[in-house]
Amino acid sequence: MNWEQWQDSWDRQQEFYMPDREERFRVMIELVEAVGGHAPGVLDLACGTATISHRLFARLPEARSVGVDRDPALLAIARGSFEGDPRMTFVTADIKSPDWMSGLPDEPFDAIVTATALHWLKAEPLARLYGDLGKLLRPGGIFLNADHMPEPGTPLLNAIDETVQQAHQQRVTRAGSMDWADWWVAAAADPQLAAEVAASREIMSTHVKGEEHPAGWHIAQLREAGFLEAGIAWRSVTDALVAAIR
């Protein structure tokens, strides 16, 4: 099984929607390094194929990462691409569940990172999750959430950004990139992933649509959850990287 091919395919599919994706990751990993040094302990939250951990190890080879997710297909790709790497461990858990932290190590993390994931949650479980995260970070540790965070007060800018995104998607489609739906069709057609994709689709079929919030909402919730500081570390027109210090 060529796990790296699937890992790369996932990255291209995500870049279909986020042309600035690598820049977000660059800023994220630099902040992890600034807080945790050359060998940080990191929680890759809602890790998917563990894209962030790949970037983490590329910059900080002595880092350690724990990936948490519940999607069988994405975890299969993640586990396959990290097979034999002692720096990476995985925990299968639903972050909406009250006991999702039960399988994590006791040692606090230097950083918790997540990208393009928490918009799958509604406001109440997300606020509760933010309270949980403070228990997992050491004092001075950092939480980083990169996601789609459009500002309701800038509808004209948001519309312009939508035009830019559509033009980008047309270009990469002509170059052979897949969108979300096409990627899952391709994964289901792989006999070695078919069972995991079927299990993923079963989970998705019962999923309740989440909510998007502006960056200010996330900042307020993180401060309410007890983080010492929270603010915007990077943003484009409709995406942002929110950082919070424990």
Q: How many residues does the chain have?
A: 246
Residue 209 — pLDDT band, cuts 50, 70, 90? Answer: confident
Q: For 21-73, write each residue's pLDDT tens digit.
A: 999 999 999 999 999 999 999 999 999 999 999 999 999 999 999 999 999 99
**For the structural domain made of 3-245, what CATH number should be given?**
3.40.50.150
Q: What is the pLDDT of residue 129?
A: 97
Q: Where are the domains of the chain?
A: 3-245
Q: Which residues of 13-44 are buried (b: 16+ CB within 10 A; e: fewer)?
A: bbebbbbbbeebbebbbebbbebbeeebbbbb
Residue 37 structure tokens: 């040094």
Residue 208 — pLDDT band, cuts 50, 70, 90? Answer: confident
> Quick one: which of 179, 117, 173, 183 has its CA closest to 144?
117
The answer to whether residues 78 and 55 touch, using CB atoms and an 8 Å cutoff, is no
Would the pLDDT of 183 be above 80? yes
pTM for the model stands at 0.95
Integer angstrom CA distances of residue 112 from 56, 61, 149, 188, 244: 12, 17, 19, 31, 10
